[in-house]
Chains A and B, each alone.
Chain A
Amino acid sequence: MERAMEQLNVQLNRLTRSLRRARTVELPEDNETAVYTLMPMVMADQHRSVSELLLNSKFDVNYAFGRVKRSLLHIAANCGSVECLVLLLKRGANPNYQDISGCTPLHLAARNGQKKCMGRLLEYNADVNICNNEGLTAIHWLAVNGRTELLHDLVQHVSNVDVEDAMGQTALHVACQNGHKTTVLCLLDSGADINRPNVSGATPLYFACSHGQRDTAQILLSRGAKYLPDKNGITPLDLCVEGGYGETCEVLIQHHGRLFQTLIQMTQNDDIKENMLRQVLEHVSQQSDYNYQCILTSLAEVATTNGHKLLSLSSNYEAQMKSLLRIVRIFCHVFRLGPSSPNNGNDMGYNGNKTPRSQVFKVCGCVGGPELWPLECCLWRPLELLWHSLDEWLVLISTELEKNGRGATASDIPSLLLKQREVETSHLHVSMATESTPATVLRSSPPLLGGEVMVKPPEVYADGQDVISMTANRLSAVIQAFYMCCSCQMPQGMTSPRFIEFVCKHDEVLKCFVTRNPKIIFDHFHFLLECPELMSRFMHIIKGQPFKDRCEWFYEHLLAGQPDSDMVHRPVNENDILLIHRESIFRSSCEVVSKSSNEKLKQGIAVRFHGEEGMGQGVVREWFDILSNEIINPDYALFTQSADGTTFQPNSNSSVNPDHLNYFRFAGQILGLALYHRQLVNIYFTRSFYKHILGIPVNYQDVSSIDPEYAKNLQWILDNDISDLGLELTFSVETDVFGAMEEVPIKPGGTSIQVTQENKEEYVQLVTELRMTRAIQPQINAFLLGFHTFIPPSLIQLFDEFELELLLSGMPEIDVMDWNRNTEYSSGYDLQEPVIQWFWEVVENFTQEERVLLLQFVTGSSRVPHGGFAYLMGGSGLQKFTIAAVPYTPNLLPTSSTCINMLKLPEYPSKDVLRNRLLVALHCGSYGYTMA
């Protein structure tokens, strides 16, 4: 009874204890179950409970459990449960027990920086030299995480501080990689090998440089670390440049002066990322005035040598050209930063948009010739040699041109220039002819001393034409470099007078270059886009280039200032999303766009409609589409329809809307933004308004879009002799001003100047401008203000009014069947004529773009009216597409009369000839056919 009572008491006691502690008070007999009972207590370091539970149990303290097969000692070491750790050790836990990955409790304690646990483990003879399966030891773990204090204690127990992991990496390697300065010092003090290579030959310095650990590199170098490449020949400097670690580079150069030249020479290496190298050079240049001058002088020297090599006809044009331009770009960037000074810190960043603020260089007045320079101007001296050679070359070409000009007629020159010579290459190993230098030969030969290879001088006899064709693009590339150097000495947006003078001086030669090879314009003459005064000289040549090429050039230059599109696509910042209300799309768009910064809008547009989820390109496209349609909504009175109802232009009465000029600016912004981001809009403007956007003067034919009858009258005046008609016209018009008719002069004193046969053209032009331009001048100006925030005027002038329409509104779909059905024939053609049949077959096979060009060619517009070709409008009402016959003479091109939608198609002898001539007219006629 008593025993029963006692048992009950024990059970009761146990129950109470268990209940009070909210856990079992007896360890299950099965190790696996027991260990999971103990684990949470060990983690929380509840040593009393653990002790109590272990007291009378048969639990194996070395029992390994879980996926990685750890013992409770691992758990205690990992969590820093020092009391439990000691308890377990006292109960015989093995301090060197390794889990499935080979980690001992000491590894885990080291990894997590459990100082006390480490101490206790060492007291119980834990082995510090044990490697885990990856070869890592406790000191590796301490070094990775920079636990210097612990390392200091532990390293005394370590037999080999250079113990390697599976990759041959020592604790010093990993400490350097992670830039733990004190850890590195501790390891070095403990005798770690400062030059130890890992399996791939990477030394501690290499590791420090690979992660741009400036201070660590500094420590290593000051302790005598050798500068060694890895087994692939990659040097610490290569790594610094690759990562753009300017500070680390600087440290390397401080200790190994020769690396400075190596760094400079890297600018010639195509494989190195230019922006990273530039960052490094910019940083180093900002450390002192001496550095700045040293870098620029050296870069100028390298650039000059490269430029001269580019002018050697046997060099590889592509490679040498790229090299020269790369070096000069870097040179200009560094130059713009200016020499270091107290108020010119490193916070200036790397955007390179600085104007030179250095007093030294302003004093220099580097715009003059080298003779005029004070002695300080060493920076530019080497490059002056190159510019001098460039100048001499162009003078030489000019002389050659004159010589040829005497011998051949002007029209012969291009064909002469195109003449190319074949070279005998039979005995050469390799012949390499670049585009423009067919007669040059590059030869590789067994390297002589130091792995050098040599260029073979050209194997041609030089006559004048060859000299020009062989040097044109080389010289043009040097001109590009010259422009870059001239510009970087000027405030942003200004053209150097020296460069303008240069272009004027060599005008004839440069024109010859681009006439012969227009590609040069797009490859090297970017300066034209920045200097309107120079652009005008080349405009006629540029306009003659295919639309597609000009488009590419346009976008290349438009986006030139923007970060590379191949950069990581950044997630859209919530604040940058344009939130638009569908029901008030015009007003809400106007509001959000005016609040956004233009720079942000250039970087990208994200649109979300209020209350809708959708985002992305589709939504942006929809926004432009709906919004552009809304801009011409008659309710706003901003735009008015043309006579034929399909096109729009600013409404001269738009001021009924008091905010109209703001809205015009907004409309301009939207159109500019759409063009910037290659989005199409759903508006078609009158031809005259496209001209206004382009800054092209309007002519009397444009009047027909708003007043066809009046346009016919103007045409009549021009077509007939008005001397004896007694028209009594003066240079004035009668206008209704607030209900009263008033005579308003259209030029000063116009009311008393008679319109005569002699001055009638001026009269027509002036009244045209009055009707087309002056009436809506404020609206045009406001629109352009908005448009030009995204599209610089100098760029848009690459196009004519027809092309601008295509750019803004895109290619319409053209139904050839409908076109065919609604076409009339005159002057002897009919549908059965072979020429007409060929014509339609050819059009059928045209691309959409070619069809649009044809439509534009004949009708002046790229659009098919609503309802199809049946509704095609002419100068005076409906005017169907008409094809008229013209007698054929060889090479004759088709022409058109846009007022009456007439294509004058010569009676070509074959389909091929027809197709060929038609395409020539479409592709080359974009500039000229406005005259037709």
Chain B
Amino acid sequence: MAVGGKALFCLIPYRSVETPEPEPIYFLFKFLVIGSAGTGKSCLLHQFIENKFKQDSNHTIGVEFGSRVVNVGGKTVKLQIWDTAGQERFRSVTRSYYRGAAGALLVYDITSRETYNALTNWLTDARTLASPNIVIILCGNKKDLDADREVTFLEASRFAQENELMFLETSALTGENVEEAFLKCARTILNKIESGELDPERMGSGIQYGDASLRQLRQPRGSAAQTKQQCNC
């Protein structure tokens, strides 16, 4: 298992013996999953990565990690996802992971108005601590429990609109819209890179070049000035 564990964290699977050369990774996006305790953040992540519902999920301690390589608009992108604890006592720890995130899933539970009411706080945290440019998608989770619904689709989508968020209702149980939520967020980031709105070169953008990217060692003369510019963060 130790070997498996190691392979787990290899960002780039070089020396892959049997499989043909994997698609080179263009970008690496840092994602956050945030929201109140018990809204199903870990289950969303589990569903996204394993295509399965996590039956006996417990409260997350601190921050957990998961990653998946996806294809967005013809480019291979690796999502590095930090699944944060929703409990208040971990708040200061989880906040320390915000900086440099490119995207976030802001999760509430459609059967709990309390979790919906907390959204403004989470949103402020994300925008101030991560980056004002962070791409956020609002996820109303537990869509399968429609009978117990306390937050209407309309209400939430209005909230999303007012706060310039994308919005989806998801179900970690059935898997509905889970993949879409992550991919939509990634696609938006990629679009912003292509339109020049986001600069991957900037530190703390939450975007790193993958192994197929162009970031490379140059031998520039007078590189000091250039470097200073890049430090503009």
Query: Which A residues contact B (CB, under 8 angstroms)?
Result: 232-235, 238, 253-254, 257-258, 260-262, 265-266, 268-270, 284, 287-291, 293-294, 297, 301-302, 305-306, 308-309, 311-316, 318-320, 323, 375-378, 381-382, 385, 388-389, 391-393, 395-396, 399-400, 424, 427, 430, 432, 442, 444-445, 448-462, 466-467, 470-471
Can you identify 25 A-B contacts, CB atoms within 8 angstroms? A258-B24, A289-B227, A290-B218, A294-B217, A297-B203, A302-B11, A311-B62, A315-B5, A316-B8, A376-B228, A376-B231, A381-B204, A385-B97, A391-B96, A392-B92, A399-B89, A432-B5, A450-B13, A452-B69, A454-B50, A455-B66, A456-B46, A457-B46, A458-B58, A462-B60
With A393-B93, A455-B8 as contacts: A460 and B58 at CB distance below 8 Å: yes
Is B170 close to A, CB under 8 A? no
The residue that A462 contacts in the complex, of B59, B67, B100, with Cβ under 8 A, is B59
Smallest distance from the beta carbon of B70 to chain A beta carbons, Å? Answer: 6
Interface residues of B in 16-70 (CB under 8 A from A): 16-17, 19, 22-25, 42, 45-46, 49-51, 54-70
Question: Is the Cβ of B203 less than 8 Å from the Cβ of A378?
Answer: yes
**A248–B42 alpha-carbon span in the complex (Å):** 45
Q: Which residues of A contact B161 (CB under 8 A)?
A: none
| B145 close to chain A: CB less than 8 A | no
In the docked arrangement, what's the CA distance between A289 and B61, Å?
41
**Chain B residues within 8 Å of A392, by CB:** 92-93, 95-96
Give bound CA distance, A382 to B206, whole Å. 11
User: Given the complex, which residues of A lie within 8 Å of B212, measured CB to CB?
Assistant: 258
* Contact residues, B203-232 vs A (CB, 8 A): 203-204, 208-220, 223-224, 226-228, 230-232
Contact A452 B227 (CB under 8 A): no
For A258, the chain B residues whose CB sits under 8 A away are: 24, 211-214, 216
Chain A residues near B68 (CB-CB < 8 A):
448-449, 452, 454
Tell whether, in the assembled complex, residue A253 and residue B65 are in contact, meaning their CB atoms are under 8 Å apart: no
Residues of B within 8 A of A456 (CB): 46, 50, 54
A319 contacts which chain B residues (CB < 8 A)? 2, 5-6, 9
Which of B75-83, B113-121, B135-143, B188-196 forms contacts with chain A? B75-83
- Which of A253, A287, A378, A424: most chain B CB closer than 10 A? A378
Q: Which residue of B lies closest to A432 (CB)?
A: B1
**Inside 8 A of B60's CB, which chain A residues have their CB?**
457-458, 462
Q: Are B15 and A306 in contact (CB under 8 A)?
A: no
Collect the chain A residues with CB atoms within 8 Å of residue B71's CB. Answer: 449
B230 proximity list for chain A (CB < 8 A)? 378
Smallest CB–CB gap between B166 and chain A, Å? 22
Report how far A456 CA is from B224 CA in the complex, Å: 44
B90 within 8 A of A: yes
Q: Is the interface of A mostly helix, strand, loop or mixed?
A: helix
Name the residue in B22, B80, B223 with the highest tally of chain A Cβ atoms < 10 Å from its Cβ: B223
Chain B residue with Cβ nearest A311:
B62
Cα distance, A290 to B67, chains bound together (Å): 30
Among B97, B100, B216, B223, contact of A260 (Cβ-Cβ < 8 Å): B216
Closest CB pairs A-B (n = 10)? A257-B216, A316-B5, A450-B69, A290-B223, A454-B49, A389-B96, A457-B64, A375-B231, A312-B65, A462-B61
A448 touches B69 (CB 8 A): yes
Question: Which has the most chain B C-beta neighbours within 10 Å: A262, A308, A320?
Answer: A308
Known: A323-B9, A376-B228, A457-B64. A261 touches B211 (CB 8 A): yes
Question: Do A257 and B217 touch across chains, with their CB atoms under 8 A apart?
Answer: yes
Residue in A closest to B43 when the chains form the complex, CB atoms: A457
B10, CB-defined interface residue at 8 Å: yes
Q: Which residue of B lies closest to A287 (CB)?
A: B219
Q: Which of A232, A265, A455, A461 contacts B10 (CB 8 A)?
A: A265
Alpha-carbon distance between A283 and B60 when the two chains are bound, in angstroms:
43
* Minimum CB distance partner of B210 in chain A: A261
Give Cα A659–Cα B46 distance, bound, in whole angstroms: 77
Q: A297-B203, A315-B5, A462-B58 are known contacts; what are 17 more A-B pairs with Cβ within 8 Å? A: A268-B10, A289-B223, A302-B11, A311-B62, A316-B8, A375-B231, A375-B232, A376-B227, A378-B203, A391-B96, A395-B92, A451-B22, A453-B4, A455-B8, A457-B46, A457-B83, A459-B57
- Complex CA gap A254/B218 in Å reads 7
The answer to whether A261 and B96 touch across the interface, beta carbons within 8 angstroms, is no
Q: Which residues of A are found within 8 Å of B5, using beta-carbon distances?
A: 315-316, 319, 432, 442
| Bound CA span A118–B178, Å | 75
Q: How far is the CA of A389 from the CA of B99 in the complex (A)?
A: 11
Taken together as a complex, chains A and B put the C-alpha atoms of A232 and B112 apart, in Å, by 55
A813 to B13, CA, bound (A): 57
Contacts known (A290-B227, A388-B96, A452-B68); A238 close to B22, Cβ less than 8 A:
no
- Contact (Cβ within 8 A) A290 B220: yes
Q: Does B233 contact A (CB under 8 A)?
A: yes
Minimum CB distance partner of A256 in chain B: B216
* A339 CB to nearest chain B CB (Å): 9
Q: Would A448 and B93 count as touching, CB distance under 8 A?
A: no
**Residues from chain A with Cβ under 8 Å of B24 in the complex:** 258
Instruction: Give chain A residues whose Cβ lies under 8 Å from the Cβ of B93.
Output: 389, 392-393, 396
Q: Which residues of B contact A305 (CB under 8 A)?
A: 80
Q: State the CA gap A289–B227 with chains docked (Å).
A: 9
Specify which chain A residues have a CB less than 8 angstroms from the CB of B56 in the assembled complex. Answer: 424, 459
Given the contacts A287-B219, A457-B42, A313 and B23 also touching, CB distance less than 8 Å: no
Would you call A316 and B2 a contact (CB within 8 A)? yes
A462 to B229, CA, bound (A): 45
Chain A min CB distance to B218 (Å): 6
Which residue, of A238, A253, A293, has the highest number of chain B Cβ atoms within 10 A?
A293
Distance of A448 Cα from B68 Cα, bound (Å): 8
Q: How far is the CA of A470 from the CA of B64 in the complex (A)?
A: 13
Given the known interface contacts A233-B16, A308-B63, A460-B58, the answer about A261 and B209 at a Cβ–Cβ threshold of 8 Å is yes
Known interface pairs A312-B65, A319-B5, A461-B58; A449-B70 also in contact (CB < 8 Å): yes
Docked CA distance A585–B77 (Å): 73
CB-CB under 8 A for A444 and B4, given A392-B93, A395-B92, A450-B25: yes
A442–B65 Cα distance when bound, in Å, is: 12
How far apart are the CA atoms of A874 and B186 in the complex, in Å?
81
Q: A150 CB to closest chain B CB, in angstroms? A: 37
Contact A253 B92 (CB under 8 A): no
Residues of B within 8 Å of A376, CB to CB, are 227-228, 231
In whole Å, how far is B23's beta carbon from the nearest beta carbon of chain A?
Answer: 6
What residues of A have a CB within 8 angstroms of the CB of B204 in the complex? 381
Contact B217 A306 (CB under 8 A): no
Identify which of B9, B25, B76, B90 contacts A320 (C-beta below 8 A).
B9
Of all chain A residues, the one with the shortest Cβ separation from B80 is A305
CA distance A270 to B66 in the complex (A): 21
Contact B69 A449 (CB under 8 A): yes
Given the complex of chains A and B, what is the CA–CA distance between A274 and B38 in angstroms? 43
Closest to A316 in B: B5
Chain A residues with CB under 8 Å of B228's CB are 375-376
Question: A288 contacts which chain B residues (CB < 8 A)?
Answer: 219-220, 223
Instruction: List B contacts of A290 (CB < 8 A).
Output: 217-220, 223, 226-227
CB contact under 8 A between A470 and B227, given known A268-B11, A448-B68, A450-B23: no
Nearest CB of B to A154, in Å: 39
Q: How long is the Cα–Cα vector from A665 to B80 in the complex, in angstroms?
A: 60
Residues of chain B contacted by A450 (CB below 8 angstroms): 13, 22-23, 25, 69, 76, 78
Q: Which chain A positions have C-beta within 8 A of B67?
A: 452, 454
Across the interface, which residues of A come within 8 angstroms of B57, CB to CB? 457, 459
User: When chains A and B are docked, how far (Å) is the Cα of A465 from the Cα of B189?
Assistant: 40
Docked Cα-Cα span, A429 to B230, in Å, equals 46
In whole angstroms, what is the CA distance A395 to B42 when docked? 24
Write the chain A residue with the least CB distance to B69.
A450
Q: Which residues of B contact A261 (CB under 8 A)?
A: 12, 209-211, 213, 215
CB distance from A930 to the nearest CB of B (A): 43
Q: What chain B residues lie within 8 Å of A424 (beta carbons)?
A: 56
Give the CA-CA distance A169 to B14 in the complex, in Å: 25
Q: Which residues of A contact B4 (CB under 8 A)?
A: 430, 442, 444, 453
Decide: A448 and B49 in contact? CB cutoff 8 A. yes
Q: In the complex, A461→B37 CA distance in Å?
A: 12
